[in-house]
Copies of this chain bind each other. A is one copy, B any other.
Amino acid sequence: MPRSTERGAAPSLAWETLLDLGDGPAPLRDRLERSIRDAVHRGLVPPGSALPPSRVLAETLGVSRWVVTEAYGQLVAEGFLEAVVGSGTRVPLHPVRVPDATTAGRAPTALRGEYRRPRFDLGPGIPDLRHVPRTRWADAVRRALDTLADGELMVVDPLGHPLARTAVADSLARSRRAVVAPDDVVITHGATDGMTAVVAGLRDAGHRSLLVEDPSWGRLREVAASAGLTPVPVPVDGDGVDVALLEQAWARTGARAALITPAHQFPLGAALSPARREAIVRWARSVDGVLIEDDYDAEFRYDRRPVAALQGLAPEHVVLVGSLSKSMAQAFGLGWAVMPAELRRRIRLAERPRPSVLDQVALAGFITSGDLERHLRAARGRFRRRRAALLEAFGRELPDLAVTGIAAGMHAMLELPPGVAARDVRHAASALEVAVSDLARYRATAVTEPGARDALVVGYGNLSDVLVDEAVARLAAAIRSIEPVPSEPDGIGGPPDSRSTAPPEGRRHPVA
């Protein structure tokens, strides 16, 4: 089955055992991708190991070959796997060292938990890793250690340290116009952690399903599904989630909770229109519903002040979820969730670990000293300039393709020419060291409209400023290298959900 390279020496990996696809609600492609990541993380597939040819793995696992090529393609695009001309796909040699069988039981294995980012990183959802405020954070930790009383060193409040909850509440009240007291705040490890707690609370309160934007960030849909809430997709357009269709979905399914991104829809890049903001709040009130507001990159708006959090309009019906993961990095493991008292009381917070008291108090100091706001202001300037440079380069290199999304956040959408499949572009880009994602990845349901055009989701969070022009030039070359094909799906076994409509109301090169 698998081929081994001269160095990989993984001659008899039992792929059907190593790769447990599980049976969750996520698409097979995503489950395979995750299981490969998992197997590599755990050292089960050593660096240098060749993965089986897609046809062989597809047969072994009993899935379509397309599922395998999609998963490989994504992982190659991310640099997690590498495609070697003439010898297939393999785990890169350098990121992880593995146990040597001859010294098993003692050898250091993975010395650094670092996975190579591609040279031209257009992946969405990746923060600006070059500009993490390391020194200021180290100072915040030192100050926290200097000021923590002895008695604070052994008390772990299940809601979070009061200093952190107070600082976050004040900050959200100021910057997001949230209506929030410290007691409403729970300190989390990040958005996924907060979401996990919230959906468990909703399930315990009797919810059985969750309205989700389609397309949207898949991980949070999965968290809901894992907790037993069936995701109910609701279409999104250039004004954000379609509230009329959301109400229909509620009427059809009874789902009274919705996960939404009003400040900056992911991935379409829309802001929820004022009329829809009012409508969705009215709906939540009328059905005694819960809106989970994923405020993932609301700090970054470049053309105006950010729209206030929806939470401020209806604090008793909105859970506001945020974190440092996009504005700083996941490595800090810090986030927050603001929630109505009734829901907070229902959540069994003590069952999940909180971030360390030390980190929480460092966060409090980082906020109250103004360091966070200083960092956000600088980042806003960087992203604004980077976005402008990116759009300019797109206009130059790909003048016929629409770039959509408001001037915000760290990503934009690029519509592809008719008949050009996003997966082909991604693979071609990957060979040019460009990682990019596509709209179809974030869809909860397949889009099969004839004539629908694929689109890329282009992130610029972690794109080095000096590489913007080169990255776009390479991406443009990748797009031009693909021969357009008729837009009908290519028969049985073809990729039903890689087709997608570009968002309605696409605006060409919005003013940044």
User: Which of B43, B113, B162 has a CB less than 8 Å from the CB of A109?
Assistant: B162
A window 103-148: CB within 8 A of B: 104-117, 126-127, 129-130, 132, 134-135, 137-138, 141-142, 145-146, 148
* Known contacts A153-B330, A330-B154: A357-B162 contact under CB 8 Å: no
A window 242-275: CB within 8 A of B: none
Binds B, one of A201-209, A331-339, A373-381, A418-426: A331-339
Docked Cα-Cα span, A462 to B149, in Å, equals 13
Is the Cβ of B352 less than 8 Å from the Cβ of A154?
A: no
User: Would you call A189 an interface residue if the criterion is a C-beta within 8 Å of the partner chain's C-beta atoms?
Assistant: yes
* Known contacts A129-B150, A145-B134, A330-B156: A345-B42 contact under CB 8 Å: yes
Docked Cα-Cα span, A135 to B148, in Å, equals 12
Residues of B within 8 A of A501 (CB): none
Residues of B within 8 A of A170 (CB): 108
User: Would you call A359 an interface residue if the criterion is a C-beta within 8 Å of the partner chain's C-beta atoms?
Assistant: yes
Docked Cα-Cα span, A152 to B333, in Å, equals 13
Is the Cβ of B159 less than 8 Å from the Cβ of A42?
A: yes
User: Would you call A84 an interface residue if the criterion is a C-beta within 8 Å of the partner chain's C-beta atoms?
Assistant: no
User: Would you call A151 an interface residue if the criterion is a C-beta within 8 Å of the partner chain's C-beta atoms?
Assistant: yes
Taking the nearest CB of chain B, how far is it from the CB of A154, in angstroms?
Answer: 5
User: Which of B96, B138, B345 has a CB less than 8 Å from the CB of A162?
Assistant: B96
User: Would you call A342 an interface residue if the criterion is a C-beta within 8 Å of the partner chain's C-beta atoms?
Assistant: no
* Known contacts A42-B345, A333-B359: A113-B181 contact under CB 8 Å: no
Residue in chain B with minimal CB distance to A189: B353
Is the Cβ of B352 less than 8 Å from the Cβ of A353?
A: yes
User: Would you call A226 an interface residue if the criterion is a C-beta within 8 Å of the partner chain's C-beta atoms?
Assistant: yes
Residue in chain B with minimal CB distance to A166: B108
Docked Cα-Cα span, A202 to B331, in Å, equals 30
User: Would you call A505 an interface residue if the criterion is a C-beta within 8 Å of the partner chain's C-beta atoms?
Assistant: no
User: Which of B113, B196, B334, B358 has a CB less than 8 Å from the CB of A351?
Assistant: B196
* Known contacts A108-B182, A333-B355, A359-B356: A115-B145 contact under CB 8 Å: no
User: Which of B181, B331, B354, B357 has a CB less than 8 Å from the CB of A153?
Assistant: B331
User: Would you call A329 an interface residue if the criterion is a C-beta within 8 Å of the partner chain's C-beta atoms?
Assistant: yes
Spell out A's residues near B (CB within 8 Å): 38, 41-43, 96, 99, 104-117, 126-127, 129-130, 132, 134-135, 137-138, 141-142, 145-146, 148-159, 161-163, 165-166, 169-170, 173, 179-183, 188-190, 193, 196, 226, 329-334, 345, 350-359, 462
Known: A127-B154, A154-B330, A352-B353. 10 other contacts (CB 8 A): A99-B181, A106-B173, A108-B166, A110-B157, A110-B183, A129-B153, A130-B150, A138-B145, A334-B356, A353-B353
Would you give 22 A-B contacts (Cβ < 8 Å), ordered by A? A38-B350, A41-B159, A104-B181, A106-B181, A108-B182, A109-B165, A109-B182, A113-B157, A116-B151, A129-B153, A141-B141, A154-B330, A188-B353, A331-B356, A333-B353, A333-B354, A333-B355, A352-B352, A352-B353, A353-B353, A355-B355, A356-B356
